[in-house]
Structure 1
Amino acid sequence: MLLQNQIYIKGARQNNLKNITLHIPRDKLVVFTGVSGSGKSSLVFHTIYAEGRRRLMESLSAYERGSLRKTDEAEVDLIEGLSPAIAIEQKTVSRNPRSTVGTLTDIGSYLRLLFSRASRAVCPHCQREIPVNKKRTLIRQLMEYPEGTMLEIYSLDDVLIKTFIVQPQQHRSLEAIINTQLEAGEGFMKLGVKRDGMLTFDPELGCSDCGIVAHEAAAGAFSFNTPLGACPTCTGLGRHYYVDPDLVIPDKTKSIGGGAIQLIGWQCEQDKFAKNRKIFEALANRYHFDLFTPVEHLSEEALNAVLYGTDGERILIENPSIGGKPMNERFAGIINIVYERFNSYAKNELSEIKGEDKSVIREQLCPKCAGTRLKSQRLLYRINGQSIHDLSEMPIQELREFCQGLNRMGLSRQEEAVAEPIFREIAARLTFLIEIGLGYLSLSRPVTMLSGGESQRVRLTTQLNSGLMGMIYILDEPTVGLHSRDSGKLLRMLQRLRDLNNTILVIEHDEEFIAGADHIVEIGPGAGVQGGEVVAQGTVGQLKSSPLSLTGQYLSGARVIELPRRHRLQKMDVHSDHIRCLEIIGARENNLKNINVRIPLGCFVGITGVSGSGKSTLVNQVLVKNLRTRFERRASSLPADPNIRGIEWIEDVVYMNQQPIGRNSRSNPATYIGIFDYIRRLFAATAQAKAAKVKENSFSFNTAGGRCEVCSGLGVLVTEMQFMSDIEVVCEACKGQRFKEEILDIAYRGKNIAQVLEMSVAEAVDFFGDQHHIHHKLTLMNRLGMGYLILGQSAVTLSGGEAQRIKLVDELGGAKKGIGKLYILDEPTTGLHFADIQRLLNIFQELVAEGNTVLVIEHNLQLIKTLDYIIDLGPEGGNRGGQIVAAGTVEEVAAVEASYTGQYLRQILG
């Protein structure tokens, strides 16, 4: 029976779900919680959302379904009470460099409309403000001159293009001339009236000194994604790529014949019969040099010919084929050839650049547009002195203030009437972004530079603007990357979305979010095969009183994340000569305000502050880049050139971000942490393998030999469709197991290689109990709460937090582990339940106890309260951040009134 006020789920068995039955109230904010890997995503995304999307697709026509990605049917007996569902996941929206916050939120479209309707122009010569004319108004005014008046039309560089005599019935001729010239001048032209032999300019039409006339531009002319508005040099990307000759020939003491050029295909010393070798020999003959002369001793003419070509001159090249005729060809030069090849890949902006090309390609701001992405003429249109690029570069907080100052812009009454509704719409959308804690972003920020949490919150604001009712919205940990100050704002925004009669389903671990939910569902009790059950549900009070709810025990205080017995130092110690510190002097990258930062070594240190305060800039752009430059001895420019002292106290720097551990389905946890080599060795050592003469490599699905050659070891066959999403079908030859039948017949302790890869980490810990190299790393994964992961699980299915913790296992589980290292992690608590955070903290404390330093960027107060030392940035985000608000122990930061982190620490410390 369909219940109007509930979503009814019966027999959900997706992944690790244990045939659960559940009633979820509609039109409520429902939080799903539980330890990592308990089955929350399996229920919310892979069951509820997947089934809702599948049903929606079935309601469409075959033609409409063709352009949508196919969704498999969820393993569930029955779901009732579904309505259209929108999933706002925590992932980067797009890898397209053209996608920005402005394009994603549609605010950029409103800005372009605004500039096409209510902007004024400035003269490109004298920078005086001039009116923007509509074409029909301009032609009408010109035709109103007395008959016989001579109009002279010039290009912007004062070349006379056409002379026109005003006469009746010549309207269309004048229109054709003006159309041509305005197109050539990208909306501008010079127009004068000849009177008594004198050239005069009408101030009502344009600049009274220069005679420049500006034409009203279409909205598309202000877009960097159209030929009409994009800079022709960078095609609207704002960045320019070039081949660096110093990277093509990094060591000029070597000769060309001795390996000075190591680009694939141009390694002259490796193949004496390749065509490129013959090209070098021909160049040597023509420009009189020896292939074994050091490059630094070559003449400028000879080196230019190698790098930049023969300037159209043909040279005689010996044919590398035996008996082949000599070739008389032009040579474009290595740099031009590599650049052209790079451009052929760059046309597809989502494709990977070939490794050998990428190694010599450098990136800089486009020299033509200086990073604005637009044609220079588009920046001559202004509103209150600001171009569209200027407004796009403003922090959203400042842009809203600009939009709300309509009466201070000096617009005419007509311009105000046009601009007011557009400004109102822009301000409303900006307000949503500010309320959700993203006021520090700018509209020009590329989507590729947003964190998963930021992109999720940006997409959430677009849903709020839509005003839809009766929907199901599904969110995956929306508080990731949010300071506690902003979590409350996000919660209130979701409650507003709920109040529009929408159902909000949120996977979340944040304490404030759980407390603010209308209904809570806890999945557990453990992870993987030990999870998949509904252990508790109801209000926060009901969870607290439930003896089965692990979450409730932490919320009620029955369980707590332990505080350290004592902090390792006091604030005054940091400024003592007896304490070893890493000191950053004058950090001023991005929004950092020339700050000096002291990081005590041998401690557990956290960088905190509101979103956009400068934490990632300080750690990633300043500290990590500079330390890597020094430890890897790379020659590269330093960001803002800050001084860093105390590097001599660090053995090495280990940076673990949340980037994927692999970009395709062949990458998995077993291969990344290095245990798959040992597993293959064990299989190769079995009596069956020796009898069949099967070697270690045959147990790899990445190499030919033992893998299934029908699917090349993928387990699926992919059919590329020109007008539809690619179709994946399980390989019939290997039944998705990736290996040949003869390889699958070989068993180690009763399991074949495919079955081992299907084991969970928790199962594998017991299975490989006597294999130290394997068991040690798997035990670390288990300790970090990742026992539910599958050894052969595709890397592309792992969350950012899971990828980061796998990197930590790889570091700690091998011979690389040392003393005196600096471990740097960006928000390591992402995706972690209270119980999982405690496991992670135990690892961190062990590292510090062994003499290492652990530095984290973090918002989670449960972790922050355990730090030895806090560096709190702020006070706000964007331009209003970048300063040190507080620095010291937890208690000392909690006592600083100006610190938002301190305010929330006071609450949690009681």
Structure 2
Amino acid sequence: MESRSIVVKGARVHNLQNVDIELPEGELVCFTGVSGSGKSSMAFDTIYAEGQRRYVESLSAYARQFLGQLEKPDVDSITGLSPTVSIEQKAAGRNPRSTVGTMTEIYDYLRVLFARVGEPHCVACGTPIGSQTRDGIVDRILSLPKGTRFSVLAPIVQGRKGEYQDLFEDLQRQGYIRARVDGRTVLLTQTPNLERHIRHDIEVIIDRLVAKPEFRARIGEAVDSALRLSEGTLLVSPEDGEDLLVSARFSCPSCGLSATPPSPQLFSFNGPQGMCPTCRGIGKHVRMDERLAVPHLEKSVAQGAVAPLGVPRNRWKMHYYEGVLRRHKCDLDTPWKKIPARGRRELLRGVKARIELEWKRRNGSIYRHQGRFEGILPPLEQRYVESASGSVRKRLGAYMLEGPCSDCEGARLKSEARSVLIGGKSLPDVARMTVEDAHEFFADLALSETNQTIAEDALKEICGRLVFLLDVGLNYLSLDRTAPTLSGGESQRIRLASQIGSGLVGVTYVLDEPSIGLHHRDNNRLLDALCRLRDAGNRVIVVEHDEDTMRRADRIVDFGPGPGQLGGQLVVDGTWKQVARSKASVTGAYLSGRCKIGVPLSRRTAEKWLTIRGAQHNNLQNVTVKLPLSVMSCVTGVSGSGKSSLITDILHEALARDLNRAETHPGDHKVIDGVENLDKVIEIDQQPIGRTPRSNPATYTGAFGPIRTLYSELAESRVRGYKAGRFSFNVKGGR
């Protein structure tokens, strides 16, 4: 019978020295050794790389041209290799649209769940939305001001790609004359040639009418035709006004407002049907901070209280400012601090309704009229976004801050999607929950018998994936946590949870230190997840330094004995007890207790302190912490306890602002005492140092600069006129 083991012979990748190794199927194997001993060279650059290369070679020539040619590892032979999957310790990406929910596909199932069993509510009054009768729709249309001219339209294509020439011809055969295509009215005999790769909206114009009681029968016929053509939805488009969406299936019984039937697309913040129109589904947008925009409260508007506006000179705009202030019994000379809060808000952000205005002509007469005021700041924000001038963006950028969207408040979805509830919670409410809270919510969710049957499959997938996240120690993450804010270890464990949920069998998984950043309290849950992956019929290879992982592994393959050129050899291969007995293994010496990390006999004492007072950022609850200076301090706690919130989001951001003059925005806290004892702050995080092939340790650390200078000062270099740049491979004269 053919062996199912992976057999590697003569591996020479990087510092590996003709290493032979055999890995049986269905084992949890731990690669250990000192840093630089060759563990990753064997696991990732040999076994995983060869598995990927063979997979790519099995594809068609057409597919391979998009993937590129993968280099064959320097190895004599590899046999018994199954499909390989790498779960490396790297950031999840910089895309703010990617979240924990989307990475694990939980959000996709939530969209289906809310579309199928969610209860729509009116966005205006919160009343549950039900179906609307044909006569009710006619009454709703006749409630328009008498004499209003309007058109009845049937929406048949909404946000879909295609050319639709056959559709236009079919509508002509049915007797229709006009349609509105992408907001423009056209004759069906003269329809435009639509771009097939662009999304289009097509509404058929059923009839053009006037809102009068004597036209009730004709309006009813138009409603019947529109509902039949568009399967239950129609648009009423007045000549002077916004379109009114009316549905025979979903409308508010209180205020008559209609809504589109829920669909999975409605709950996607990456598509136009569901995303918030203000922030485009990001949940945040850049807007002017009112505290920065009005730094001097004792000044009046006429004196330049609004800093980005300065002293107003435009008389036409000033009469709008006067109209707003007059509503609150103030004028342009009133100090800002004496203007009521509502008046300040209206002046900066605008007034929805029309306001009374007085324009003083140069001859002394007064022209009284009504107008809409959009506010002082929105036009400046728009100018900042659209301007190509660096000086304009720099001047206005000093007042800009990134904050939650003013419309969706960070929920990312439009109001219709936020108004669909399950168990009293909207989809954004569920996404804001932690993994642990979401699991409890769905475990206790009570649905009707019919809805339970409909939601059974979606609930099973959601709960299963939440359990996998709990198993890898990520119970503290919220489902809407964005990918750029995740650490490398968290991203790796999320991908591990996704792989456990995929149910693949016969795969070789290669993991890079999955326990890094994980509290020892959660280590057993992570190891149980790895064992579950192994027991499903997979081979699991873990590159790890963690002692608990070594003791739980079926086998340990120890590389060494030293780093770099001193390593690259297979020191010992066996159980952890066999490795512990090996005299040649450095790892075994620490496993057996022969070597230990010594505890210092005496410790340094601090004379100066840094005190953070009243920290309330994220989950911190009014914490006050004293940190000693001139000593090494360690901030610990279980995952999600608030360590990064305190040190990274508050302390580093505040010190970078005060010492390095960086434009940062620290988390919520009262004050930090002792900053005067420091002169600068440096952050060393988990982000990679760069991806350019021209960078190496010597260039990154700056050591290459003095070396080039030394060579340029040699006698022969001076004779030839060589400068330091001559010895750089990044400039034309040196490379």
Q: TM-score, normalised by structure 2?
A: 0.73
Contact 2:279 2:405 (C-alpha < 8 Å) held by counterparts = yes
User: Match for 1:438 among 474, 494, 498?
Assistant: 474
Does the residue aligned with 1:116 lie in a helix, a strand or coil? helix
Superposed, which structure 2 residues align to 1:577-616 within 5 Å? 580-616=608-644
Does the residue aligned with 2:610 lie in a helix, a strand or coil? strand
The alpha carbon displacement at 1:659 in A equals 2.4
The alpha carbon displacement at 1:624 in A equals 1.4
1:827-874 CA distances to partner (integer Å, 9 max, x unpaired)?
A: xxxxxxxxxxxxxxxxxxxxxxxxxxxxxxxxxxxxxxxxxxxxxxxx
User: Match for 1:447 among 474, 480, 483?
Assistant: 483
Number of aligned pairs? 595
User: Match for 1:659 among 687, 690, 695?
Assistant: 687
More displaced stretch, 87-96 vs 179-188:
179-188
- In the alignment, is residue 618 of structure 1 matched against residue 664 of structure 2? no
User: Match for 1:179 among 233, 247, 251?
Assistant: 233
User: Which residue is 1:375 aligned to?
Assistant: 414
The alpha carbon displacement at 1:62 in A equals 1.2
User: Which residue is 2:82 aligned to?
Assistant: 83
The alpha carbon displacement at 1:666 in A equals 2.9
User: Which residue is 1:301 aligned to?
Assistant: 313
User: Match for 2:596 among 560, 569, 572?
Assistant: 560
The alpha carbon displacement at 1:218 in A equals 1.3
User: Match for 1:231 among 240, 257, 276?
Assistant: 276
User: Which residue is 1:467 aligned to?
Assistant: 503
More displaced stretch, 558-567 vs 414-423:
414-423
Judged with a 3 Å threshold, the aligned counterparts in structure 2 of structure 1 residues 696 and 634 are, in CA distance, closer, same or farther, namely closer
Contact 2:384 2:397 (C-alpha < 8 Å) held by counterparts = no
User: Match for 2:437 among 393, 398, 403?
Assistant: 398
Q: Distance in 1 between matches of 2:247 and 2:23?
A: 70
Judged with a 3 Å threshold, the aligned counterparts in structure 2 of structure 1 residues 301 and 698 are, in CA distance, closer, same or farther, namely farther
Superposed, which structure 2 residues align to 1:676-755 within 5 Å? 676-706=704-734, 739=735
Superposed, which structure 2 residues align to 1:829-840 within 5 Å? none
Judged with a 3 Å threshold, the aligned counterparts in structure 2 of structure 1 residues 643 and 551 are, in CA distance, closer, same or farther, namely same
The alpha carbon displacement at 1:207 in A equals 3.6
Question: Which residue identity is paired with 1:85?
Answer: T
Does the residue aligned with 1:241 lie in a helix, a strand or coil? strand
User: Which residue is 2:167 aligned to?
Assistant: none
Unaligned runs of 5+ in 2: 153-210, 296-306, 318-378
Q: Distance in 2 between matches of 1:613 and 1:157?
A: 59
Q: Distance in 2 between matches of 1:14 and 1:389?
A: 48
Higher RCO (CA < 8 A, seq sep 6+)? 2
Contact 1:187 1:217 (C-alpha < 8 Å) held by counterparts = no
User: Which residue is 1:152 aligned to?
Assistant: 140
Question: Which residue identity is paired with 1:376?
Answer: S
Q: Distance in 2 between matches of 1:431 and 1:534?
A: 38
Judged with a 3 Å threshold, the aligned counterparts in structure 2 of structure 1 residues 296 and 126 are, in CA distance, closer, same or farther, namely closer
Question: Which residue identity is paired with 1:222?
Answer: F
Q: Distance in 1 between matches of 2:471 and 2:691?
A: 34
User: Which residue is 1:416 aligned to?
Assistant: 452
Q: Distance in 1 between matches of 2:43 and 2:570?
A: 13
The alpha carbon displacement at 1:587 in A equals 0.8
User: Match for 2:386 among 333, 340, 350?
Assistant: 340
Judged with a 3 Å threshold, the aligned counterparts in structure 2 of structure 1 residues 78 and 150 are, in CA distance, closer, same or farther, namely closer
User: Which residue is 1:41 aligned to?
Assistant: 40
Superposed, which structure 2 residues align to 1:99-178 within 5 Å? 99-131=98-130, 142=134, 150-153=138-141, 165=217, 171-176=224-229
Question: Which residue identity is paired with 1:583?
Answer: T
Judged with a 3 Å threshold, the aligned counterparts in structure 2 of structure 1 residues 5 and 157 are, in CA distance, closer, same or farther, namely farther
Does the residue aligned with 1:504 lie in a helix, a strand or coil? strand
Does the residue aligned with 2:559 lie in a helix, a strand or coil? strand
More displaced stretch, 525-534 vs 68-77:
68-77
Q: Distance in 1 between matches of 2:250 and 2:671?
A: 56
User: Which residue is 1:60 aligned to?
Assistant: 59
The alpha carbon displacement at 1:585 in A equals 1.6
The alpha carbon displacement at 1:81 in A equals 0.8
Question: Which residue identity is paired with 2:489?
Answer: G
- In the alignment, is residue 632 of structure 1 matched against residue 674 of structure 2? no
Question: Which residue identity is paired with 2:225?
Answer: R
Judged with a 3 Å threshold, the aligned counterparts in structure 2 of structure 1 residues 412 and 26 are, in CA distance, closer, same or farther, namely closer
Question: Which residue identity is paired with 1:614?
Answer: G
More displaced stretch, 503-512 vs 678-687:
678-687
Contact 2:654 2:664 (C-alpha < 8 Å) held by counterparts = no
Does the residue aligned with 1:217 lie in a helix, a strand or coil? coil
Contact 1:406 1:416 (C-alpha < 8 Å) held by counterparts = no
Q: Distance in 2 between matches of 1:225 and 1:633?
A: 36
Question: Which residue identity is paired with 1:478?
Answer: P
User: Which residue is 2:523 aligned to?
Assistant: 487
User: Which residue is 1:316 aligned to?
Assistant: none
Q: Distance in 1 between matches of 2:597 and 2:431?
A: 43
Q: Distance in 1 between matches of 2:315 and 2:81?
A: 70
Does the residue aligned with 1:461 lie in a helix, a strand or coil? helix
Superposed, which structure 2 residues align to 1:176-325 within 5 Å? 176=229, 179-181=233-235, 189=245, 206-242=251-287, 299-301=311-313
Question: Which residue identity is paired with 1:372?
Answer: A
The alignment's C-alpha RMSD in Å is 3.9
The alpha carbon displacement at 1:35 in A equals 1.0
Does the residue aligned with 2:634 lie in a helix, a strand or coil? strand
Contact 1:661 1:667 (C-alpha < 8 Å) held by counterparts = no
Contact 2:556 2:574 (C-alpha < 8 Å) held by counterparts = yes
User: Which residue is 1:843 aligned to?
Assistant: none
Q: Distance in 2 between matches of 1:32 and 1:183?
A: 69
User: Which residue is 2:353 aligned to?
Assistant: none
Does the residue aligned with 1:656 lie in a helix, a strand or coil? coil
Contact 1:152 1:160 (C-alpha < 8 Å) held by counterparts = no
Contact 1:585 1:596 (C-alpha < 8 Å) held by counterparts = yes
Superposed, which structure 2 residues align to 1:720-869 within 5 Å? 739=735
Question: Which residue identity is paired with 2:264?
Answer: A
Q: Distance in 2 between matches of 1:614 and 1:186?
A: 48
Q: Distance in 1 between matches of 2:655 and 2:455?
A: 50
1:228-270 CA distances to partner (integer Å, 9 max, x unpaired)?
A: 111122211122135889999x9xxxxxxxxxxxxxxxxxxxx
Contact 1:88 1:476 (C-alpha < 8 Å) held by counterparts = yes
More displaced stretch, 427-436 vs 56-65:
56-65
